[in-house]
Amino acid sequence: MMNYIWFGMMVIAVVVGTVTGRIEAVTQAAIDMAKVSVEIAIGLIGIMALWLGIMKIAEESGLISLIARAVKPVMIRLFPDVPPEHPAMGSIVLNMSANMLGLGNAATPLGLKAMEELQELNPEKGTATNSMVMFLAINTSSVQFILPATVVALMGGVSSQIFIPTILATTCSTVAAIAAVKFLEKRKHFAAPESVQEAGDD
């Protein structure tokens, strides 16, 4: 899937860029974005270090497993492949909470920690597990109770009007995400390699 999307975007860009005479802008964008990618990653180092450090304290003190135990009934249904007491459950919950509270800076390190713990349970390291896809789908459809600061800054006094529509829309998209994952993970085309003999398409 990723192979086709990635290649498709670049081919379309080059073809359309040639037709519309924007080919130089396309080239420039490629070079600029390569640079921006590294800047983003480097910029993440400090925030990652901060939150991973705090997370480690939370883990050592038993806070994470405490949280994981509290939300166990929901989590075992969403992530049936993850043992209920596994630290991944705690990290997933913390990432979701950070997202709900609009703490984007904290959410990413917590989410990457969760991915690392999910990867420990992955029998086929290069391929996503059902739990990973479920986690990402919930994450990208982001239930959020605090409007992003950028939106508040832009919308000013109107911000409060869009509070309820935003929560309703994000709830719909999260439900859609969970339903789509549950539906698609059983399709043969997306099957995990261990359940199908031939290596599945990505």
Partner 1 sequence: MIDSITWGLNSVAKYIIPLLLVGIPLYALSVKKVKVYEVFVVGAKDGFTIAVRIIPYLVAILVAVGMFRASGALDLLLQALAPVLTFVGFPPENLPLALMRPLSGSGSLGLLTDLVNEHGADSMYAKIGATMFGSSETTFYVIAVYFGSVGVMRSRHAIPAGLFADFVGAISAVFFCKLLLV
The single residue among 73, 77, 164, 198 that binds partner 1, judged by CB under 8 A, is 164
Quick one: DSSP state of residue 1?
-
Phi-psi category of 156—alpha, beta or left, where left has phi over 0 and alpha has psi -120 to 50?
A: left
| Residues in 16-75 that interact with partner 1 by CB under 8 A | 16-17, 20, 22, 25-26, 28-30, 32-34, 36-38, 40-42, 44-50, 52-63
| Residues in 114-133 that interact with partner 1 by CB under 8 A | 115-116, 118-119, 122, 125-128, 132-133
Cβ at position 33, least distance to partner 1 in Å? 3
Say how far apart CA 124 and CA 193 lie, in whole Å.
Answer: 8
The single residue among 68, 89, 93, 102 that binds partner 1, judged by CB under 8 A, is 102
Q: Count interface residues toward partner 1 (CB under 8 A).
A: 112
Cβ at position 31, least distance to partner 1 in Å? 8
Cβ at position 140, least distance to partner 1 in Å? 4
Say how far apart CA 70 and CA 35 lie, in whole Å.
Answer: 43
Q: Minimal CA–CA distance to 78: which of 133, 16, 39?
A: 133
Is there binding between residue 10 and partner 1 (CB under 8 A)? yes
Report the 10 Å Cβ neighbour count for 139: 20
Say how far apart CA 120 and CA 123 lie, in whole Å.
Answer: 8
